[in-house]
Amino acid sequence: MGGLLKSSIARKVAMALSAFFLMFFLLQHFAINITSIFPDNGKTFNELSHFMGTNPLVQFVLQPVLIFGVVFHFVMGFALELKNKGARAVKYAKNNGGANSTWMSRNMIYSGLFILIFIVIHFIDFWFPELNTKFVKGDWSGMHDGEFRYFDELQHKFAAAWRVALYCIGFVFLALHLLHGFNSAFQSVGANNKYTNGLKTFGKAYAIILPAGFIVIALFHFFSH
Amino acid sequence: MNLTLKIWRQKSSNDKGQMVEYKVSEISEHMSFLEMMDVLNEQLIAAGEEPVAFDHDCREGICGMCSMYINGEAHGPDRGVTTCQLHMRMFNDGDTITIEPFRAKAFPVIKDLVVDRSSFDRIQHAGGYISVNTSGNTQDANALPIAKEAADKAMDAATCIGCGACVATCKNASAMLFVGAKVSQYALLPQGQVEAADRVMAMVKQMDLEGFGNCTNTGACEIECPKGISLENIARMNREYLKASLKG
């Protein structure tokens, strides 16, 4: 196992496994968020949010795993980028990267960096206040003025045009990152077979539909508020 | 054709090196790129200047010696060819062509466009072989039946000529297409499967020691490879490595 944790292939597989986890999390996050545009005044969204926000398994097991997954993916991504830059000390005077690879595949570090900035803003907007309410103030009721607070908080945040614009830009970078990342993760774990072409199509659909869905949700709340 | 050439000139591995501009005229579109370089060198020798050093041997796309990063691509703008098979008809009269050596920390420049690719040899030495007793009791090659698909894939992997275009092209200077091909050509055949686990561990270890970068699956290597080695081979190497690692 020692070799598995040290080599270039081990690092590649580790990146892929953390990516699978994050892509699954993203799907779950989307599945909950989409309920906020249901025509029930946020009832389903409030119930699901309260469950996720107070369930001990989610809060004390899955949430720490998620934080580890996010931090690991970013730290390993930046570490690998630095190492890879070092593998070519003298740069080419002329390099025609567009002739043989996609922009997305060559710029994962930049799309990743923008996603990191987006995540920090997202944490400041939603996660840090949530931690403050629950862990500092000790209020686990999820209530405000006798009603669940989650849907109102969401609508309040998305009333600001600058925030909606920022989120939309963040989701565009997420789409660019996933357009390469989804199938790259499968290739990294050695999955290249007769299903690869079908998987590529599915990956493209995932990479476009999911971020587009998040954009629709943000715009919906901006215009409906 | 009249051309302007911007060529990397570097006296030795210790020299800093720089791009130098040359003009060549009356180049036939039927010439290979290396023949065009020969014309330039004859011109330089006649003028009493140092000719441009570049690697070449068979000049028929088999040996893997000719390298060169031409106009931002390994072996130039054509597909499925080495530099010796690249014809001047791919360029236009009046073009400026940039010619650089393959760049990677693991491929240090020796002189001008010549790089040291012995890191590939050391990876091969680490495990790119099978141990066969040839002391008089060699088996008939056809005694062991091999599935057609496996034989075809092994042969496809074995067409790798070790030119290093994959490394030169990869934005990370990764050698995984080369190592993937070498691992695959044996892993697919029963003769190679006996030592498969040790082979992949040793070759990947040597690859990492040589200072090649990590593969990020851009797929550029597959496009630029003169022999069309598939990314499938990298995936197979990853599987072989994981299998071998988990076995301990």
Counted residue by residue, chain A has a size of 225
Phi-psi region of B25 (alpha: psi -120 to 50; beta: other; left: phi over 0): beta
SS3 B87: strand
Average pLDDT along chain B, 248 residues, taken 10 residues at a time:
98 96 97 98 98 97 96 98 98 98 98 98 97 81 90 97 98 98 97 95 97 97 98 97 89
Q: What is chain B's percent helix, strand, coil content, to nearest 5?
A: 40, 15, 50
- The verdict on A216 touching B (C-beta cutoff 8 Å) is no
**pLDDT, position B240:** 97
The backbone torsions φ and ψ at residue A198, rounded to the nearest 5 degrees and listed phi first, read -65, -40
- Is A215:A168 a contact under the CB 8 Å cutoff? yes
Out of B100, B172, B219, name the one closest to residue A93 (CB).
B100
Q: For residue A49, count other CB atoms closer than 10 A to its CB.
A: 23
Whether A156 shows a pLDDT value over 80: the answer reads yes
**pLDDT, position B85:** 97
CB contact under 8 A, A191 and B220: no
CB contact under 8 A, B169 and A100: yes
CB contact under 8 A, A190 and B239: yes
**pLDDT, position B137:** 77
Collect all residues of chain A within an 8 Å Cβ-Cβ radius of residue B208: 7-8
CB contact under 8 A, B241 and A7: yes
Residue A115 structural domain: 2-223
Out of A92, A100, A192, name the one closest to residue B69 (CB).
A92
Chain B: residue nearest A101 by CA? B220
Instruction: Give the percent of chain B with pLDDT over 70.
Output: 100
Rounded alpha-carbon distances, angstroms, from residue A15 to A34, A81, A187, A218: 28, 12, 12, 29
CB contact under 8 A, A1 and B246: yes
Select from B9, B21, B123, B214 the residue whose CB has the most chain A CBs within 10 Å, as the one to mutate to test that interface. Answer: B214
Q: Where does the pLDDT of residue A111 fall: very low under 50, low under 70, confident under 90, or very high at 90 and above? A: very high
Question: Which helix H or strand E contains B4, and what residues bound it?
Answer: strand B3-9
Under DSSP, the state recorded for A89 is S
- The verdict on A35 touching B (C-beta cutoff 8 Å) is no
Same domain, B105 and B157: no
**pLDDT, position A5:** 56
**pLDDT, position A6:** 81
Place of tokens 């987006």: A118
- Is B88:B27 a contact under the CB 8 Å cutoff? yes
Domain final residue, candidates B111, B126, B144? B111
Same domain, B124 and B215: yes
Collect all residues of chain A within an 8 Å Cβ-Cβ radius of residue B19: 93
Rounded distance between C-alpha atoms, residue A132 and residue A134, angstroms: 6
The pLDDT tens digits for A160-218 are 999 999 999 999 999 999 999 999 999 999 998 889 999 999 999 999 999 999 999 99
Question: Which helix H or strand E contains A143, and what residues bound it?
Answer: strand A143-144
Burial class (CB in 10 A: 0-12, 13-18, 19+), B60: exposed
Residue B175 structural domain: 118-247
Same domain, B130 and B240: yes
CATH number of the domain within which B8 lies: 3.10.20.30
Same domain, B137 and B240: yes
Token digits of residue B44 = 């330089």
Same domain, B178 and B237: yes
CB contact under 8 A, A102 and B212: no
Same domain, B46 and B81: yes
Q: Where does the pLDDT of residue A3 fall: very low under 50, low under 70, confident under 90, or very high at 90 and above? A: very low
Q: How many domains does chain A have?
A: 1
Taking residues A47-76, report their average pLDDT.
96
**pLDDT, position A2:** 44
CATH number of the domain within which B231 lies: 1.10.1060.10
Distance of CA B192 to the CA centre of its chain: 23
CB contact under 8 A, A105 and B105: no
Q: How many domains does chain B have?
A: 2
- Shortest alpha-carbon distance between residue A14 and chain B (Å): 11
The pLDDT tens digits for A126-148 are 999 999 999 999 999 999 988 99
Domain final residue, candidates B111, B135, B155? B111
- Shortest alpha-carbon distance between residue A76 and chain B (Å): 12
Same domain, B91 and B181: no
Rounded distance between C-alpha atoms, residue A106 and residue A42, angstroms: 41
**pLDDT, position B140:** 81
The pLDDT tens digits for B63-106 are 999 999 999 999 999 999 999 999 999 999 999 999 999 999 99
CB contact under 8 A, A189 and B242: yes
Same domain, B236 and B128: yes
| Nearest by Cα to B78 from B226, B178, B228 | B226
CATH number of the domain within which A125 lies: 1.20.1300
Taking residues A14-41, report their average pLDDT.
97
**pLDDT, position A159:** 95
Whether A1 shows a pLDDT value over 70: the answer reads no
SS3 A83: helix
Same domain, B25 and B67: yes
Same domain, B127 and B77: no
What's the whole-number average pLDDT of chain A? 94
